[in-house]
Amino acid sequence: SVWIAQALLFLLFLGFIAFLGYCLYIKHIHMKYDHIPGPPRDSFIFGHSPTFLRMMKKDEIIHDAFLEWVEKYGPVCRINVLHYIVMIVTCPEATKEILMSPKYPKDKMYCVPCLLSRFLGYGLVTAYDHEKWYKQRRIMDPAFSSLYLRGLMGTFNERAEKLMNKLSDIADNKTEANMLQLVNCVTLDVIAKVAFGVDLDLLHCMYIWCKYCSNRPFINEVKEACRLLRTTGAQWIHQRKTAMQNGDDVPKDILTQIIKSAEDEELMLDNFVTFFIAGQETTANQLAFCIMELARHPDILEKVTKEVDDVIGMKQEISYDDLGQLIYLSQVLKETLRIYPTAPGTSRDVLEDMVIDGIHVPGGFTCMFSSYVTGRLDKFFKDPLKFDPDRFHPDAPKPYYCYYPFALGPRACLGQNFAQMEAKVVMAKLLQRYDFSLLPGQTFDILDTGTLRPKSGVVCSVRHRNYK
């Protein structure tokens, strides 16, 4: 027993020495970076993380804190979390230099397991090693070529048409429409079909699906989602690999490219989950925010509806060429992403010393770029909270490295054209056929669950349009 007591004392002593060493290291980090403006730390050890935890508990948006700090402390703002240093950077020149260059890798924190389950892993969005990322990206590129995207118009039209049929039932029965749930079903249907060759037809069983997804404890829901997505992915990958080995004709879709891009099954699953999430949730959230803003701005709604009438008329099938003529609708969708960037930020590790906006920043920090922050700064966008699609008029000055809802440079979103084509088809059909208005009693608050979405779900009354 004396020996055990001595061993415990020795372990406590070692723990104390390790803790003291860590505190000295944190002090060294503070001295190295404290010349850079930033808010006061909540804690010597934990830095600003208590603020973030408080905001998360209250369902507040962390990017709102970033915005407040940037307005107060300037275009380079320091944040401390343990021994990590994060710089929120809004300076366009530094944004251009870092995001447009392949030499600054993605932040390693992207690869942290999601509540101890592997989630995105080392897929295209999160891959840290540039060479490994480049190899994957090169193989995936053909699945997003202009020629391939043109061939998806039939699926975009068909799935959007199912939503129109659902809305017709809602209009006839005078029931309310939760637009976020509805567009989620459509975008899930689209990505499952065009990327993985699977028919889900979620609009048929959406209420069972929504009931299953709601009222579940958040952590359990995330863990279950991780497990379900990766299990489903493993099944679909196995079926496709078997078909390929048997010499069957298989579509040259995203799933085929995923299988070609990696020999390791875990990496295939990483990319499966990446495309499933990136190809569905962000587009659905953008559509919901767009519907919400149009319902709040009848003049803009009238203008974009007139454009759809002029370009599409009464025809049911929207062509690829039609999309190019829906210029004002493009402006509306871009302005939606300025105020509500559904994937609000990206980050890069900077290992070397840099001068950002005249401030010397020693290497070894993470650069955080928030399109949410830059999109709401008055110095970049006058009257930033005003919804004004004319900011993106073809003749208006182009935003200079302060608008990047799909990131920028070599790591920019591979599927951005896919997403905007899909969004245009859904919005054009909706505007062509229906009038919609927001039901009273909703908030316009934003929920941050990694991606940004409307908190109230955008609940609308829907009516068939009265053509004159």
Q: Judge whether 163 and 170 are in contact, CB under 8 Å.
A: no
CB of 66 closer than 8 Å to CB of 38: no
Q: How far is CA 324 from the centre of its chain?
A: 24
CA distance 58 to 69: 19
Residue 205 counted as an annotated binding residue: no
Q: Which residues, 6 or more positions from 165, have their beta carbon under 8 angstroms from its beta carbon?
A: 203
Indicate the helix (H) or strand (E) that contains 380: none
Backbone angles phi and psi of 112, in degrees to 5: -65, 135
CA–CA separation, 277 and 188 (whole Å): 9
Closest CA to 401 of 98, 87, 5: 98
Per DSSP, helices labelled H in 326-386 are 327-339, 371-375
What b/e string do you get for 73-83 counting C-beta neighbours within 10 Å, with b at 16 or more? ebbbbbbbbee
- Give the pair of three-digit tokens for residue 366: 């993470």
Which tokens hold the place of 145? 């070529």
DSSP characters over 8-45: HHHHHHHHHHHHHHHHHHHHHHHHHHTTS--PPPSBTT
Q: Mark the binding-site residues, compressed into ranges.
A: 413
Q: Mark the binding-site residues for heme, compressed into ranges.
A: 413
